[in-house]
Structure 1
Amino acid sequence: MGVVTEDHHQTPLFLQSSLALSPHDQPIQRTGNVWTAVAHIITGVIGSGILSLAWCMAQLGWIGGSFSMLFFAFITLISAFLLSNCCRSPHPELGPTRNHSYLEAVHFNLGKRSAAVCSVFLRLNFLKVGVVYTITSAISMRAIQKSNCYHKEGHEAACEYGSTSNYMLLFGIVQALMSQIPNFRDGNIKGGIGGVPASTTTKKVWLVAQALGDIAFAFPFSVILIEIQKASTAAISITTFFYLCCAGFGYAAFGNSTPGNLLTGFGFYEPYWLIDFANACIILHLVGGYQVFSQPLFADLEGLIAEKFPNSRFINKNYILKVPPLPAFRLNLLRLCFRTTYVALTTGLAMLFPYFNQVVGVAGSLNFWPLVVFFPTQMYIVQKNIGPWTRKWIGVRIFTLVCLCVTLFALVGSLEGLITAKFG
Structure 2
Amino acid sequence: MDVELGQPQGSNKCCDDDGHPKRTGTVRTTSAHIITAVIGSGVLSLAWAIAQLGWIAGPAVMLLFSFLTYYTSALLSDCYRSGDPNTGKRNYTYMDAVQANLNGIKVQICGILQYANIVGVAIGYTIAASISMMAIMRSNCFHEHKKQDTCQVSSNIYMIIFGVVQIIFSQITDFDQIWWLANVAVVMSFTYSSIGFALGIVQVVANGRIKGSLTGINIGVVAPVDKVWRSLQAIGDIAFAYSYSLILIEIQDTIKAPPPSEAKVMKRSTVISLVVTTVVYMLCDGMGYAAFGDATPENLLTGFGFYNPFRLLDIANASIVMYFVVVYQVHYRHIFDWFEKWAQRTFPESQFIKKEITIPLSSTRSLNLNLFRLTWRSIFVMLTTVISMLMPFSNGIERFVGALGFWPLTVYFPIEMCIVQKKVPKWSTRWICLQLLSLVSLIISVAIAAGSIAGIVSELKGYKPFKTS
Q: CA deviation at 1:153?
A: 2.3
Deviations 1:132-177 (A, max 9, x none): 1100110000000111122222342343333342222222232243
CA distance in 2, matches of 1:341, 1:59: 39
Shift of the 373–311 alpha-carbon distance from structure 1 to 2, 3 Å rule, reads same
Q: CA separation of 1:338/1:35 partners in 2, compared to 1, >3 Å: closer, same or farther? A: closer
Q: Is 1:85 matched up with 2:78?
A: yes
Determine which of 105, 111, 116 is the counterpart of 1:124.
116
Do the aligned partners of 2:135 and 2:306 also contact (CA within 8 Å) in 1? no
Distance 1:371 1:332 in 2: 32
1:192 and 2:209 equivalent? no
- In structure 2, C-alpha distance between the alignment counterparts of 1:257 and 1:155, rounded to whole Å: 25
- Structure 1: stretches of 5+ with no match in the other structure: 9-23
Q: Give the conservation status (yes or no) of the 8 Å contact 1:260–1:356.
A: no
1:405 corresponds to which of 440, 443, 448: 443
* Structure 1 position 283 matched with structure 2 position 303: no
Deviates more, 1:368-377 or 1:112-121: 112-121
Aligned to 1:169: 189
Higher relative contact order (CA 8 A, sep 6+): 2
Match of 2:398, as an amino acid? V
Give the equivalent residue in structure 2 for 1:348: 386
- Correspondence 1:83-232 to 2 at 5 A: 83-91=76-84, 93=85, 96-111=88-103, 113-163=105-155, 164-185=184-205, 187-197=208-218, 198-225=221-248, 226=252, 227-228=263-264, 229-232=267-270
Are the counterparts in 1 of residues 357 and 369 from structure 2 also a CA contact under 8 Å?
yes
- Partner deviation per Cα, 1:262-283 (whole Å, 9 max, x = no partner): 2235524222110001101111
Q: Report if aligned partners of 1:259, 1:266 keep a CA contact under 8 Å in 2.
A: no
Give the Cα–Cα distance (whole angstroms) in 1 for the partners of residues 283 and 301 of structure 2: 15
Deviations 1:70-129 (CA, angstroms, capped at 9, x unpaired): 1111110111221232233335x4653343433222222213653333222222222222
Structure 2 stretches lacking a partner, 5+ long: 7-16, 156-183, 253-262, 463-469
- Mapped pair 1:65 → 2:55: no
* Paired residues, number: 400
The reply to whether residue 416 of structure 1 matches residue 454 of structure 2 is: yes
Between the aligned partners of 1:298 and 1:117, the Cα distance in structure 2 is: 19
Runs of 4+ off more than 6 Å: 321-324
Q: TM-score, normalised by structure 1?
A: 0.87
Q: How far apart in 1 are the matches of 2:326 and 2:74? A: 28
2:101, 2:421 within 8 Å by CA — same for their partners in 1?
yes
Q: Aligned partners of 1:291 and 1:94: how far apart in 2?
A: 29
Q: Percent identity?
A: 41
Q: Aligned Cα RMSD in Å? A: 2.5
CA contact (8 A) 1:140 1:264 kept: no
CA distance in 2, matches of 1:77, 1:219: 10
SS at match of 1:305: helix
Q: Relative to 1, partners in 2 of residues 1:297 and 1:244: Cα closer, same or farther, differing over 3 Å? A: same
Distance 2:134 2:88 in 1: 52
Please give the alpha-carbon distance, in whole angstroms, between the structure 1 residues aligned to 2:111 and 2:103. 12
CA distance in 2, matches of 1:37, 1:215: 22
Matches within 5 A, 1:262-341: 262-264=300-302, 266-319=304-357, 329-341=367-379
Name the counterpart of 1:395.
433
Q: Is the 8 A contact 2:95 2:107 kept in 1?
A: yes
Distance 1:180 1:244 in 2: 12
**Conserved? CA contact 1:298–1:339, under 8 Å:** yes
Letter in 2 for 1:43: T
> Does structure 1 conserve the Cα–Cα contact (< 8 Å) formed by 2:196 and 2:284?
no
Structure-2 residue corresponding to 1:375 = 413
SS at match of 2:302: coil
Corresponding residue for 1:15? Answer: none
Alignment correspondent of 1:14 = none
Hey, what's the Cα distance between the residues in 2 that align with 1:155 and 1:38? 45
3-state SS, counterpart of residue 88 of structure 2: strand
Superposed displacement of residue 405, structure 1: 0.4
- Asked if the contact 1:72/1:216 (under 8 Å) is kept, the reply is yes
Give the distance between the partners of 2:357 and 2:81, measured in 1 at CA.
Answer: 39
